[in-house]
């Protein structure tokens, strides 16, 4: 019990130290990522840089933990296999036996990547190091007033400037571009797996088909139901397209809101007050990674599981 407790306290203490600069500026987290440089004419932002660095680190850590896979796993391999088995046990009943094997690598990668990126804002150095970008020259009186209101003010060569502090590292999923890219991947994967394992016919029937039993429903009711289910199908299409809005904004809002919460807590009192909120953000980061992955699994399983559901119903 003593080792985890010391580890948690050390992590919280390091996080407080590395984010105290961010809190002292009194500025809220920027809603957009800062451009660091360009590569082949395309902007490279601080969120992208953080994501690449953590992805590379994750690959290296997993490779070192697993090493050469053995029949009797070592501690590192057992931990990785435990994570894989845990995700599999949760996703398999949702997706169904028919498609769990081809879908599982996607779900495992989504959960692991989103989880690490959700927690990236808690790492020492993220939201701390950067450079000040001046915008306007101001007087000493204006600088004093603006500092009291929480603005970022710097003295450069005897002159005062207001501006922004551009950080080299940004929490990855606090950038809407990242969460939107994840939602697009999830959406395209849904289209691919549904068309491959369910087919166009089943997809169209699931959206617009008449689900009433012709033997049990009179004809004067059964025929008008085609129009009803067609209207319901159009609403369902809008609901499916809205996933490109709900998935990224839910993830972005929780992570971005958590970063602003930690910043506000640091602004109030930088040393003790923020510690409970770090543990809250750990929980929220885990829940949001699980929710995003579960929703992806549910979307795929709702259609691809039709055959299994029909077989179970006939058998019953």
CA-to-CA distance for 252 and 118, rounded, in angstroms?
Answer: 9
SS3 305: coil
The per-residue pLDDT for range 262-299, each reduced to its tens digit, is: 878 877 777 788 888 889 999 999 999 999 999 999 99
pLDDT confidence bin for 72, thresholds 50/70/90:
confident
Quickly list DSSP for 279-304: HHHHHHHHHHHHHHHHHHHHHHHHHH
Which residue did the predictor score with more confidence, 275 or 27?
Answer: 275
Which run of H or of E encompasses 220? helix 219-222
Question: What letter would DSSP give residue 174?
Answer: G
Question: What letter would DSSP give residue 29?
Answer: P
Which residue did the predictor score with more confidence, 208 or 151?
Answer: 208
Predicted local confidence at residue 199, as pLDDT: 87
Angle, CA 62 vertex, CA 61 and CA 67 arms, to 5°: 105
- Among residues of the chain, what percentage have pLDDT more than 90? 32
CA-to-CA distance for 30 and 127, rounded, in angstroms?
Answer: 10
Phi, psi for residue 280 in degrees, rounded to 5 = -65, -40
The answer to whether the CB of 3 falls within 8 A of the CB of 244 is no
Phi, psi for residue 305 in degrees, rounded to 5 = -90, 5
pTM of the model: 0.78
In the predicted model, is pLDDT for residue 11 greater than 50?
no
In the predicted model, is pLDDT for residue 181 greater than 90?
yes
Angle, CA 103 vertex, CA 102 and CA 106 arms, to 5°: 120
In the predicted model, is pLDDT for residue 129 greater than 60?
yes
Which residue did the predictor score with more confidence, 138 or 17?
Answer: 138
Predicted local confidence at residue 243, as pLDDT: 92
In the predicted model, is pLDDT for residue 147 greater than 70?
no
Angle, helices 100-118 vs 46-66, to 10°: value is: 120
Supply the mean pLDDT for the chain: 79
pLDDT confidence bin for 10, thresholds 50/70/90:
very low
Predicted local confidence at residue 152, as pLDDT: 67
CA-to-CA distance for 193 and 189, rounded, in angstroms?
Answer: 6
In the predicted model, is pLDDT for residue 2 greater than 80?
no
CA torsion angle 48 49 55 59 (round to 10): 150
pLDDT confidence bin for 109, thresholds 50/70/90:
very high
Of 222-226, 246-250, 289-293, which range is least confident? 222-226
């Amino acid at each position: 019990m003593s080792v985890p407790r010391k580890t948690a306290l050390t992590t919280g203490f390091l996080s407080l130290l590395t984010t105290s600069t961010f809190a002292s500026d009194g500025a809220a987290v920027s809603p957009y990522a800062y451009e660091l440089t360009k590569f082949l004419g395309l902007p490279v932002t601080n969120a992208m840089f953080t994501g690449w660095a953590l992805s590379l680190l994750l690959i290296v850590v997993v490779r070192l933990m697993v090493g050469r896979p053995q029949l009797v796993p070592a501690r590192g391999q057992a931990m990785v296999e435990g994570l894989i088995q845990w995700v599999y046990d949760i996703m398999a009943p949702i997706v169904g036996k028919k498609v769990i094997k081809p879908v599982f690598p996607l779900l495992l990668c989504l959960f692991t990547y989103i989880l690490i990126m959700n927690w990236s804002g808690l790492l020492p150095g993220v939201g701390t190091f950067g450079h000040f970008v001046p915008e306007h020259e101001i007087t000493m009186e204006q600088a004093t007033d603006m500092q009291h209101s929480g603005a970022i003010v710097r003295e450069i060569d005897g002159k005062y400037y207001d501006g922004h502090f551009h950080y080299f590292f940004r929490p990855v999923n606090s950038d809407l571009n990242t969460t939107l890219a994840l939602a697009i991947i999830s959406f395209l994967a849904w289209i691919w797996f549904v068309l491959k394992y369910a087919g166009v016919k089943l997809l169209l029937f699931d959206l617009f088909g008449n689900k009433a039993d012709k033997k049990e429903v009179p004809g004067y009711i059964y025929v008008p139901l085609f129009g009803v289910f067609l209207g319901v199908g159009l609403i369902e299409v809008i609901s499916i397209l809205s996933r490109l809005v709900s998935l990224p904004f839910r993830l972005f809002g929780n992570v971005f809101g958590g970063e602003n919460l930690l910043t506000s807590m640091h602004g109030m009192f930088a040393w003790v007050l923020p510690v409970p909120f770090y543990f809250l953000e750990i929980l929220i980061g885990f829940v949001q990674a699980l929710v995003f992955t579960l929703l992806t699994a549910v979307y795929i399983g709702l259609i691809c599981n039709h055959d299994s559901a029909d077989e179970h119903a006939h058998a019953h």
